[in-house]
Structure 1
Amino acid sequence: MTSISVTPQLSHGQLLNILNEQYGLVGELSDLPSYIDLNRKLTTADGKQLVVKIANIHQSADDLAFENLVINRLSQESSIELQVPSLISAKSGDDLIEIKDEQNQSCLMRVIAFLDGKIWAETDTSQLSFVESLGESLAQIDKTLATIEHPAAHRYLKWDIRHSNIIVRKYKSYIQNEVLDNTEENQTGGTKINLINQALQSYEAQVLPLYEELPSQIIYNDANDYNLLVNEEKQQVCGLFDFGDMVSSFRIAEIAIASAYAIMNKTNAEEIIGAMVQAYHQVNPLKPVEIKVLLPMIKMRLAVSLSLSSYQYSQSPENDYLLISQQGAWKALSQLDQIDAISFELKLMWLTELNSKQELEQPQDIIDYRKKHLSENLSLAYDEPLKIVAGRGAYLYNEKGTRYLDMVNNVCHVGHCHPGVVAAGQRQMSTLNTNTRYLHDNIVRFAEKLLSTMPKELSVCMFVNSGSEANELALRLARKYTNRKAMVVVEGAYHGNANACIDISPYKFDGPGGDGAPDWIKQTLVPDPYRGKYRGRNEETGLQYGKDVKRAIEALAQEDQPLCAFICESIQGVGGQVIHPPGYLKSAYAHVRDAGGVCIADEVQVGMGRVGTHWWAFQTQDVVPDIVTIGKPLGNGHPLAAVVTTQEIADSFVTGMEYFNTFGGNPVSCAIGCAVIDAVEQGGLMAHALQLGEYLQQGLRQLQSKFPVIGDVRGLGMFIGAEFVKDRDTLEPAVEQIDYVIERLKSEGILLTTEGPFHNVLKIKPPLAFSKQDADFFLSSLEMILTEQGAQP
């Protein structure tokens, strides 16, 4: 039995006869490539060139009528500068006729004008003007296509981006799972299937939920490098052909598809896409939701192409060209995988000025409003304040998409917008949020998780909303337990912004606008082994500073003020990232307890595994406090704090007066707290903090050996300080130099600030999402800046 070919079968002679009979055309025929159709070029006697297109036997007449409708409309549209092929009518006046091939099969035939020119794929299109003209041309075409409707536009098409995840899931198994070359374009070092899976996951997570919001219309849908003609002299696109993949789909897919091909074999994908988007938007304005989905959509188009071509190769393994042609797509997909998605989206929003339509104020407007309607006590970082609009992991982003490495934010402990933490809060908030007067599982689970990190003596939790609240509650507990008020505090310490906390914070009461120490406060020396009264990181230094706590206690006693409590940060924060010498807290606590006082460990800044070796910094001193206060990192940016104490102290607080905190311990906060602890444990973040902290300190000490302005490097885990001095003998603070370094680091995309009584200590306490690559970026940037004149002592 003879098989019937899907491709029409006609000799040149047979086709010339049909052309003469139906169109009155004569000339010479030459072959043109096609997948399953029959395409020929006709050159007439007067030199005119036409394309004869005979569709495969399965081609729908409705589909071709749809194409013809669009071609006619585009060719008549004066606003479209791009050439499109015009249709040649038969003698009957029809632009689509039915013929018989030599197998007596019915086929549909068209004749269209031949567009002469050089195709994109065979041209050096590295100049952005090519991309800009393509974006502008596609925008002009889409504006016209939006006015057209035809039933065939809604047919199923496997190249329709709306079906892309289904196509990739069906065909990705045909991809040869090789390790990607580690080239300039590809720095992933992963396997091909991993790259496809990442594209698929991004698409399903970020695009599928927005399907209903994305503008849809008929689009050209195939602006690939073999369907575009270019004018090399003018460096612009001049023609477009092959309308077979038109479909009603997402408008933004037009740009996604064009971008996928435009970035192939290029190394500046982000710049190319930005130029195309900006040019398109100026003609046919986009919506913010379209910008949001563009990057995962470009990745998905490439994933579809790679999956389908891999399937085709499995059916025709002798066709090595299918694998060779994939190389540009793999490089493009690898390059896209290196793009910071948040920065990319914000940059496109800025280029299109869509962000100005979403955001109410420009930075200076916000500054002016703050000065007029918010307290001027609210300070701003940097000479030119930043407007931060997004965060992810260890990075923050401004409204223009500029990315900044955040090395100072110990609040977002496990990383900005940690997915697990965000999801936990969203889930619980969508179900219930109430107060502790009702029973709920979350508060019990959270307490259990938190107490599991503590010494067994600390067995009672009380939940609040901030470190200030936690320290104020700790004072109430201590005073009720001891029936005393007098406190010993560390010079330069800060414990919060409530009145009671200001009273025990020398950083505030001895600072600008402060009223000095209350008469029931005595200060003890900062246990600073670098520039303090006693120097050296050894136990003898720790004992000497511990004795100074005893001196302060005795000074209170001489004034007939028995000690209530000693409160001390387990590592000094605003005091200058001071790591206590060995034995300090053990000595200090012994003196406090001998005097009948309570030991309060303020872990608001340094707790939750940041020190690497332990959950809590007080554990590095081999002590157990009576009360521990926890704040900033506990909620990863959500207002959540806690006080943990002994059963005995907790019992003393039960006097008949209810302790109730409207928001403390609510189900949402507790769900978030559980998620943060889980993230630390499951992500191995304590070990990470230890390892990376040691790496950072090692790098800083290498810089210290080269640059005398770094006088000291100190730290535990990812809580590190680098003190700047003009002279290593006199320890004169290098304030101007460190201010210069801070501003220069910002200009390099790194955010840091200073601490210490002289503001000459680099405060390094990034989110634990901070990576080795981030550390290398910081260290190399700092080294470069330290060579500059402004950093010299």
Structure 2
Amino acid sequence: MTNFDFLAQPSALPRPDVTAADAQAIARDRFGVDGTPTELGSQQDRNFRIDGPSGVFVLKVANPVFSADELAAQNLAMGALHDRGVIAPRALPGLDGSDLQRVELGGERLIARLLTYVDGDPLTGEGELSDAQLRSLGDIAGRVAAGLTGLEHPGTERSTQWDLRIAGEVVDRLADHVAQPARRRLIEEATRGALARLEPLRDSLRIGVIHGDVTDDNIVITGADIDGTDVPAGVIDFGDVSRGWIVAELAVAVASALHHVPGEPLRALETIAAFTAHQPLTDPEIEALWPLVLLRAAVLVVSGEQQVAVDAGNTYAAENRAHEWLVFDVARRVDPDEVESLIRWRLRRDAAACAPLPLFDLGFDDSDVLDLSVTSHRLDEGRWLEPDIEARLLTETGRSNGRAVTRYGEFRLTRAVPESAAATPTLALAVTARVPEGTRVHAPVSGMLTASGDDWVLSSPGLDVWFSGLVPLDAAAREVAAGDPLGTTETLTVQLSRLAGHRPPAFVRPGAEPEWRALSPDPSPLFGIGLAAPEEDPDALLRRRDASFARVQEHYYAHPPQIERGWRHHLVDTRAQTYVDMVNNVTAVGHAHPRLVNAVRDQWALLNTNSRFHYEELSDFTSRLAELAPGPLDTVFLVNSGSEAVDLAIRLAQTFTGRRTILAVREAYHGWTVGADAVSSSIGDNPRALETRPDWVRLVESPHSYRGKYRGPGAAAGYLADVAAQLAALDDAGPDDAGLAGFIAEPVFGNAGGVMLPDGYLAGAYELVRERGGVCIADEVQVGYGRLGEYFWGSEQQGVIPDIITVAKAMGNGHPLGAVITTREIAERFAAEGSFFSSAGGSPVSARVGLTVLDIMRDEHLQENARIVGAHLAARLDELAKRFPTIGAVHGLGLYLGVELVRDPVTLEPAGAEAARICDALLAEGCIVQPTGDYKNVLKIKPPLCLTVEAADFFADALERVLSD
């Protein structure tokens, strides 16, 4: 039988059919060991722990595709490592003296081996690994790699699916087993990228016998003190022993560490450093390491999916899939150039550099520093997205000052990439100066000046100075002394490196900032000025917030990014990472709209006071609102928020009718003021809501078309019958002033995630209320004002005209602005309560904001955009719902949508915890979305109305990837 060749074999390798009884008989009859068998996990073999009077052993029954030579080579490798002090199992002879026992089970010829048992706890179940554990993983992998050096055996000449030399072919062959298209595309794209980086290195990578599977599954901690610096560890499972790339031994170990440190993947540097203490890496191996980590992750996931498909009972393979996908996801998000530089730095710390001299005979000062950070006003109005904006701003500043210079250590907004599913390199490790043409550049240190492509490097002990844009005095390499002229420039980029002969990336992703600052230090001293940007610390800011801001005013996410800029439908944090904003219905026309910014600035420069003064903006704005309102609603009150609007609407109804009782819908949220909170009954916002309603509030059944009491075509009739019964009971009880004043409901169930009310529900409810002289209030704070696309007001969808409309949020695009729109009759009756006044409601600035928002919505056709993009996004979400049973329903209309998540599509058990995890995962994908509803299981999707089809697709693709996990 020849050795195994994965590419020449059928790809399906189900485990041999071996029962526990078979294992017990083999151990007893072939090895003389009697004991109780317990099956252990394996991808393709059968492994059993045998506990008996003579000790504990492991019986391995190999997959029949593996030859005796291959198994003999594994035994040899175990023995070689054991002889060199590595804790490893040993193969024991059978009763006939052979350590390979041929057995026949069910007509299949198999080979069994009995191994000594290595006692200890595997790293797999350890959760987040300490630095000591990460080093232990690298230490044992390095000792294994060193211990197998020079080993030769014909059984190692094999080709398994784990041989990273054929990783591309393995992924091609098995990728179809990844059922979800989005996941499959990710695997294929990542594999192509890794192979492209690896191709020029293949012939330079050393080959030898490797274990091939030194992972957290196969490392056992044999010492008690896992927090110490010296953690004794053993290695098991030699089933993948073969010839391969030596650096692959480390790649496998690093990949296995990643799911233990998903938030800090660069902590795997501990594993790498520990490995190289025993098995140093060559330069090509350092360069190849991360592409191999990514290939290992890709092979793991496609192999896991394939193994489960062909061997449904393989719980070991099935249970491993979750962390294998996590390993892949973490690995693909790490930039290989960045990690290569960090590895080189970690492994090769050079001597300290001498103090450098200035580059120029120019006196830079603070006015010359160009701010390219997230909060720079030089980048307002979306200028940060313009091509070559950095060069143009440098030129502008240079022309006005005679010189200009960028900052080191700055997270540059100009490097931000909208709609990016992974972190983008924004941290500047280089500095660029704009100086008068022909300015002479002096050597900051003594050393050798040599060309590197179009760039130049000045190499000195402990420090390399890299130049882009230098016009040298002499094109030949030469020795220079500190202060000597090097050449001239107009625009010069300078970067320092403490890695001899290696230039780190000029921009890197957030994370590992201390390492980057040590590897590529601040070149500011070369300019004679402190240029470094202040270091950001979002966690410290969060602690300050919690110290002074009432914590009941919650924030999104346990560890939120510090958001300091918005643009259209994007948000940007202080590290210049962008997010598609899928939740900000307040910002209807988009963040930082230039027309709105300028309108507020201009009005504030003229006048801002209160509505008791006489000015044009108030009349213009209220007239526009009255024109937009349906039917007889022609009178406007202006307030500061939706809560105030609802509060005022309730008072209007009570005053107009002379009665107190307000009918409200269960599960609704209307606001935080005393009146608005009284009619809010969402237990998602207030767990005691149903117990604490005042006696003047009566609740009717939630007309929830998905999980409510009545569903289907007759749902409205059922709910209306309940409303009628409740109103009849109210008719017969209490004094006249306790009778029905009004009914309040959202025309679309916004708090539940955009659930559409059953057709005819509001029309029937309004009729029942008006029969008793009650007032009908439509709370349009969330769902109205063009958001539904098909309709400007949500009540239009239900075919009704309310007596009072409340609106806010979208009116001010983030400015505190709300309104109550009603009839003149209802408004005038309120005079019995005295005059009404809101200090900021209807102020000149507020009115100008409201007018400008309406102008932008009209001129940019945002209601139509909500219709088109909303329909496109809803179709994408509906398609996902067909493939992912976790999506119970897609609610809503236009750009007010909700994705309801359930654990069971029949019982509709809410998936609240899953929704929270999905929102966290979507943040990592570059999307901000949050859960809503009484069970916090609905993803509320209510972005700025300027959302594009491309951004909608970006969100849908991200959700598909997250749901696939």
TM range (shorter): 0.5 to 0.7
Residue 820 (structure 2) aligned to one of 643, 662, 665: 643
> Secondary structure of the equivalent of 1:654?
helix
Cα contact 1:721–1:763 (8 A) shared by 2: yes
Residue-pair matches, total: 536
Residue 674 (structure 1) aligns with: 851
Does the Cα contact within 8 Å between 1:382 and 1:743 map onto a contact in 2? Answer: yes
After TM superposition, list the pairs within 5 Å mapping 1:643-792 onto structure 2: 643-655=820-832, 657-788=834-965
Q: Cα 1:432–1:284, aligned 2, differ >3 Å: closer, same or farther?
A: farther
Q: 2:587 aligns with which of 398, 412, 432?
A: 412
Deviation at 1:368, TM superposition (A): 3.2
Distance 1:598 1:406, change over 3 A: same
Report the Cα distance in structure 2 between the residues aligned to 1:782 and 1:517, rounded to whole angstroms: 38
| Partner deviation per Cα, 1:45-66 (whole Å, 9 max, x = no partner) | xxxxxxxxxxxxxxxxxxxxxx
* Partner SS state of residue 722, structure 1: strand
Comparing 443-452 with 488-497, greater Cα deviation is found at: 443-452
Post-superposition Cα deviations, 1:251-293, rounded to whole Å, max 9, x if no partner, equal xx9896649xxxxxxxx99659x999986654357999x9xxx
Corresponding residue of 1:437: 612
CA 1:286–1:574: 2 relative to 1, 3 Å: farther
Match of 2:725 among 551, 554, 562: 551
User: 1:546 is matched by which residue type in structure 2?
Assistant: L
1:161 is displaced (CA, Å) by: 14
- Check conservation: 1:586, 1:623, Cα contact below 8 A: yes
* 1-structure distance, mates of 2:528, 2:849: 36
Matched, 1:589 2:766: yes
Aligned counterpart, 1:516: 692
CA distance in 2, matches of 1:660, 1:420: 29
CA-CA distance at 1:404 after TM superposition: 1.5
Deviations 1:100-154 (A, max 9, x none): xxxxxxxxxxxxxxxxxxxxxxxxxxx999xx9xxxx9x97865322499xxxxx
3-state SS in 2 of match to 1:672: helix
Q: Are the counterparts in 1 of residues 638 and 817 from structure 2 also a CA contact under 8 Å? A: yes
Q: Distance in 2 between matches of 1:431 and 1:206?
A: 35
| Deviation readout 1:471-508 (Å, 9 max, x if unpaired) | 11111211111111101000011111111111111126
Match of 1:480 among 638, 641, 655: 655
* C-alpha distance in structure 2 between counterparts of 1:286 and 1:443, whole Å: 55
For 1:354, the equivalent position in structure 2 comes to 534
686, 704, 707: which one aligns with 1:528? 704
Give the structure, 1 or 2, with the largest relative contact order (CA under 8 Å, sep 6 or more). 1
Distance 1:353 1:484, change over 3 A: same
The structural deviation recorded for 1:713 is 0.9
Where in structure 2 are the equivalents of 1:33-432 lying within 5 Å? 144-147=360-363, 219=435, 221=437, 229-230=456-457, 237=466, 240-241=470-471, 258=493, 281-283=523-525, 352-354=532-534, 356=536, 362-432=537-607
- Given the two structures, how large is their TM-score scaled by the length of structure 1? 0.60
1:705 positional shift: 0.8
**Structure 1 counterpart of 2:149:** none
* Structure 2 contact 781–806 (Cα < 8 Å) conserved: yes
Summarize the alignment of residues 486-635 of structure 1 with structure 2, pairs less than 5 Å apart. Answer: 486-507=661-682, 511-512=686-687, 514=689, 516-536=692-712, 538=713, 540-560=714-734, 561-635=738-812
SS at match of 1:452: helix
Report SS of the residue matched to 2:360: helix
Instruction: Identify the residue that residue 629 of structure 2 maps to in structure 1.
Output: 454
Whole-angstrom distance in 2 between the partners of 1:591 and 1:694: 34
Aligned counterpart, 1:465: 640
User: How far apart, CA to CA, are the structure 1 residues paired with 2:700 and 2:942?
Assistant: 26
Distance 2:927 2:610 in 1: 40
The 3-state SS of whatever aligns with 1:397 is: strand
Deviation string, structure 1 residues 288-314 (Cα, Å, up to 9, x no partner): 9x9xxxxxxxxxxxxxxxxxxxxxxxx
Query: What's the CA shift for 1:626?
Result: 0.5
1:570/1:603 contact within 8 Å kept: yes
Alignment of 1:18-29 (within 5 A): none
Unaligned runs of 5+ in 2: 1-339, 346-352, 371-382, 406-432, 442-450, 474-487, 495-504
Say which SS state the counterpart of residue 628 (structure 2) adopts.
coil
The Cα shift of 1:547 comes to 3.2
2:596 aligns to what SS in structure 1?
A: helix
* Partner SS, residue 653 of structure 1: helix
What is the Cα-based RMSD across aligned positions, in Å? 4.4
Give the 3-state SS of the residue equivalent to 2:749 in structure 1: coil
- Contact 2:812–2:853 (CA under 8 A) maintained in structure 1: yes
TM-superposed CA distance for 1:210, in Å, is 11
Q: 1:231 to 1:781 in 2, by over 3 A?
A: same
User: Following the alignment from structure 2 to structure 1, what is the Cα–Cα distance between the partners of residues 933 and 822?
Assistant: 30
Distance 1:209-1:756 versus aligned 2 partners, 3 A rule: farther
Cα distance in 1 between the residues matched to 2:733 and 2:361: 88
Conserved 8 A contact 1:486-1:556: no
Residue type of the alignment partner of 1:518: P
Does 398-407 or 699-708 show the bigger shift? 398-407
Q: What is the CA-CA distance between 1:207 and the residue it aligns to?
A: 5.8
**Cα deviations across residues 355-393 of structure 1 (Å, max 9, x unaligned)?**
54xxxxx43334334444332312122232332221111
Distance 1:430 1:532, change over 3 A: same
Aligned-pair distance for 1:202? Answer: 11
Distance 1:197 1:218 in 2: 19
| Structure 1 CA distance for aligned equivalents of residues 436 and 395 of structure 2 | 24
Residues 888 and 905, structure 2, Cα contact 8 Å, conserved in 1: yes
Contact 2:752/2:938 (<8 A) preserved: no
Q: Secondary structure at the match of 1:506?
A: coil
Q: In structure 2, do the counterparts of structure 1 residues 197 and 373 end up closer, same or farther at CA, with 3 Å as the change threshold? A: closer
Q: Could you say if the C-alpha distance between residues 399 and 201 of structure 1 is closer, same or farther in structure 2, counting changes exceeding 3 Å?
A: closer
User: Which deviates the most, 667-676 or 507-516?
Assistant: 507-516
1:4-23 per-residue CA deviation (whole Å, 9 max, x = no partner) reads xxxxxxxxxxxxxxxxxxxx
| Deviation of the 1:557 alpha carbon | 2.0
Residue aligning to 2:379: none
Structure 1: stretches of 5+ with no match in the other structure? 1-126, 150-159, 163-193, 244-252, 260-267, 291-351, 357-361, 789-793
Specify whether residues 669 and 508 from structure 1 end up closer, same or farther in structure 2 by C-alpha distance, changes over 3 A only. farther
Q: Secondary structure at the match of 1:531?
A: coil
* Partners of 2:639 and 2:841 within 8 A in 1: yes
Distance 1:706 1:667, change over 3 A: same
Equivalent position amino acid for 1:392 in 2: W
Q: Write the letter of the residue equivalent to 1:530.
A: Y
Q: Deviations over 1:299-332 (max 9, x none)?
A: xxxxxxxxxxxxxxxxxxxxxxxxxxxxxxxxxx
Q: Closer, same or farther in 2 for the Cα pair 1:427/1:286, shift >3 Å?
A: farther
Whole-Å separation in 1 of the counterparts to 2:398 and 2:762: 53
Q: Is the 8 A contact 1:494 1:508 kept in 2?
A: no
Task: For 1:418, give the aligned amino acid.
Answer: H
Give the Cα separation in 1 of the matches to 2:607 and 2:394: 25
